[in-house]
Structures are given as structure tokens and as C-alpha cells.
Amino acid sequence: MAESVVLDTVDLQILRLLQNDARTTYRELAAEVGVAPSTCLDRVTRLRRTGVILGHQLRLDPAKLGRGLEALLLVQVRPHRRELIGPFVERIRALPESRALFHLTGPDDYLVHVTVADPADLQRLVLDEFTSQREVARVETRLIFQQWECGPLMPPGAGPSLSAV
Amino acid sequence: MAESVVLDTVDLQILRLLQNDARTTYRELAAEVGVAPSTCLDRVTRLRRTGVILGHQLRLDPAKLGRGLEALLLVQVRPHRRELIGPFVERIRALPESRALFHLTGPDDYLVHVTVADPADLQRLVLDEFTSQREVARVETRLIFQQWECGPLMPPGAGPSLSAV
DNA sequence: GCTGAAATCTGTCGGCG
DNA sequence: CGCCGACAGATTTCAGC
């Protein structure tokens, strides 16, 4: 599980470029980074094998899919025991409205990022899937005005090379 | 901006498959969906052009990049006026630790998802980039025990067809 | 890590239903 | 008008060095 991975500048440049556009061809990567296309393929294959790259994801516009309203739900699950939170997590993950789920420290045990059609849809979701459940002690709903994805994920102090576990 | 988009079962199947693996070839998509590869290309091109597909993203493992600790920061920005929140948002987005930023309703104005190396790194981030700033009235830090991405994003009541805006 | 070549894929085009 | 099938160009992938 704790496999050691060493990343050099070539790896980091490739990752930065692919985060900018995950469909960049090996040819283009090679031209930018200054190595052969096959080397880029080798690097990317290794980054996938070692688990640095987890996968390629499609970014969709929820509004275009009829889910123009987004919200974060802060949820207390009580009692906070494995027998209850296991099924809770699986149930929430399976909801078509759920985009992401976080298990947190602090007064709220879980944060759920949901996408719904409109306020009525959100109300239905909160009432039918959260507050109606025995293990859900409290739900706090926060609407999302706007959201931003931030810059590329890079190692701290992105020097010329580093080792991570 | 409010371009009308109609999605049929073929589009929805393609989106579902591409969310599972964004690098699925048109050939494979065609085989699964039961249409010609060129038709899949046409559909995907149209989905890109109409803004349903926003782009292709690389999913990376923060832990493998030396950012094994993740947290959510709840931030109050006061006074909550455009002159202050504009620069605040840009500054937070530019931090290498920031993964995502949400502008919310409720007592906390912003939620920031951050990835750091360790608790000392988190402490530095909170003190130097948040509480030290004049406009930041309050910061609440919640560590992330575990997180899950949820199922594919699909339209509400994913019937055989739908129209979205 | 590179080169080069084979296999595969992408994207275009004209035609068909 | 959208779907199909074939084609040319580009990309991926794999030996061998």
C-alpha cells in the first residue's frame, strides 16, 4: 500500500500539462517537455501503475443536465458507530443527487455535495433521504452560489525532484 | 448562454460510459451503445459544443504527491462586499493547497477544500493565508477522514429522453 | 530513453435512409 | 437531418538498440 514513488521534473511537467488538458497527446507532451513521445507514454504508464494517476474523468455541466441547483449538506449521524455509518455512507453514495461525500472531524460528521433540479427537489431530497432516517440527527443545508476549481495539484515546494509515499 | 440541449438514450449511455472512463474509444462506445463509431464521435462533439461536456480531467492521488492530509476550511469574510470578496477568491484560488472553493449561503461565506503535507503545514496555511488577513473574520478547520466520489452525474428521472437548458 | 514501424484510433466526407 | 462506412492522417504502442 505504501509504495514509494519518485517524481522528477519530467513527471511533474507531464502531470501539470495533463491537468490542464487530460487529452493532450503524447506527441504534444513530448514537444513541451523535451523528451520522446514513447518516453511520455512510459512515464504516464508508470504514473498510472503507481497510483499517482487514479483515472481520467469527464467534467460535465450539471445545469445542462437539469441539475442547476447545488448545495452542501452538513449531517450529524448519531450514534456515530460503524454499524450505522457504514450503511449510511453506502446509501448516500448511491443517491443520484450525490456528487461527493466527506467524513469529517468537528460537530458535523458528514458533508454531502448534492446537485438537484430546483428548491422543491432539494426539499424532497432532504426530507426523504436525510431527516426521515433514524440515524440522521441533524441536517444543515447550505446553497452553493458559485464554485471554483483551483490550480493543478502539485507537490509542496515543487522543486526539481521529490519522493512521496 | 441558455442554449437548449436535448439528450436521448444514446447521449446518456455515452455520458455514463465516459464518466466511468473518459478515455474509452469511440469504437468501444459504439460497441456498447449499438451505433457506429462515427456517430459516437458526432454525439460527443455535439455534447462538447453545447457545453454539456466541459472538459477532461486527470484524477490524481494527493497522498502520492506528498499531500496526504486534506481539510475543509469554513471561512467568514467580513464585510461581505464585492470589493473584498473578489480579491479574496482570487488569492485563495491561487494557493497551491487549494483544490476547490465554494461561495455559500449560511453563517460561513466560503468553504475551501485544501490538501497539505501534515498538521504543521495546515497550521501554517491557516495562520499565514487566512487568519492573518484583514477580511477573514473567522476560520473553522475540519479534517477529512475519508472521502468518496459518487455515481455518474445523470439527469433527474433519467428516462429515455429529456431536454435541459 | 530513443528510434522506427505496425496497430489502432480520430476525424472527415459523401452517400443512404 | 442524422446515421453509416470508408478513407487519410494522426496517435498509440511495442520491439530492439
Question: Which pLDDT tens digit goes with each residue over A41-71?
Answer: 999 999 999 999 999 999 999 999 999 999 9
Reported as a single tens digit per residue, the pLDDT across B4-31 is: 689 999 999 999 999 999 999 999 999 9
3-state secondary structure chain A: CCCCEEEEHHHHHHHHHHHHCCCCCHHHHHHHHCCCHHHHHHHHHHHHHCCCEEEEEEEECHHHHCCCEEEEEEEEECCCCHHHHHHHHHHHHHCCCEEEEEEECCCCCEEEEEEECCHHHHHHHHHHHHHCCCCEEEEEEEEEEEEEECCCCCCCCCCCEEEEC
- For residue B151, what is the DSSP state? S
Query: Given a cut of 50, is residue A160 above it in pLDDT?
Result: no
Reported as a single tens digit per residue, the pLDDT across A130-153 is: 999 999 999 999 999 999 999 999
Which residues in B13-150 belong to E strands, given as ranges? 53-60, 69-77, 98-104, 110-116, 136-149
Does strand D come within 7 Å of the CB of A48?
Answer: no
Q: Which of residues 140-159 of A touch B (CB under 8 A)?
A: 140, 142-151, 153-156, 158
Q: Where are the alpha helices (DSSP H) in B36-158?
A: 37-49, 82-94, 119-125
In whole angstroms, give the CA distance from residue A111 to residue B92: 21
Q: Which of residues 21-60 of A touch B (CB under 8 A)?
A: 21-23, 50-60
- CATH number corresponding to A9-57: 1.10.10.10
Nearest to B134 by CA among B85, B99, B95: B85
Report pLDDT for A157: 79
Q: What is the mean pLDDT of residues B33-62?
A: 97
Report pLDDT for A158: 65
Nearest to B154 by CA among A91, A116, A121: A116
For chain A, the structural domain boundaries read 9-57, 62-144
Query: Given a cut of 70, is residue A163 above it in pLDDT?
Result: no
Q: What is the mean pLDDT of residues B66-78?
A: 98
Report pLDDT for A36: 97
Whole-number Å distance, CA A55 to C1' D2? 33
Report pLDDT for B3: 54
Query: Given a cut of 60, is residue B64 above it in pLDDT?
Result: yes
Report pLDDT for A2: 43
Does strand C come within 7 Å of the CB of B41?
Answer: yes
Inter-chain CB proximity A65 and B52 less than 8 Å: yes
Regarding pTM above 0.85, the answer is yes
Whole-number Å distance, CA B27 to C1' D5? 13
Query: Given a cut of 80, is residue A1 above it in pLDDT?
Result: no
Please give the CATH topology (third level) of the domain spanning A62-144: Alpha-Beta Plaits (3.30.70)
In whole angstroms, give the CA distance from residue B126 to residue A36: 42
Locate the chain B residue with the closest alpha carbon to A68.
B165
Q: Which of residues 68-97 of A touch strand D (CB under 7 A)?
A: none
Whole-number Å distance, CA A97 to C1' C17? 40
Is there a shared CATH topology between the A9-57 domain and the A62-144 domain?
A: no
Grouping H, G, I as helix, E, B as strand and the rest as coil, residue B107 is coil
Report pLDDT for B158: 65
Cell (9 digits) for B47 = 455534447
Reported as a single tens digit per residue, the pLDDT across A71-91 is: 999 999 999 999 999 999 999
Percentage of residues of chain B with pLDDT beyond 70: 93
Grade residue B137 by pLDDT with cuts at 50, 70 and 90.
very high
Inter-chain CB proximity A53 and B53 less than 8 Å: no
Nearest to A32 by CA among A2, A57, A10, A51: A10
With left for phi above 0 and alpha for psi between -120 and 50, is residue A34 left, alpha or beta? left
Reported as a single tens digit per residue, the pLDDT across A16-32 is: 999 999 999 999 999 99
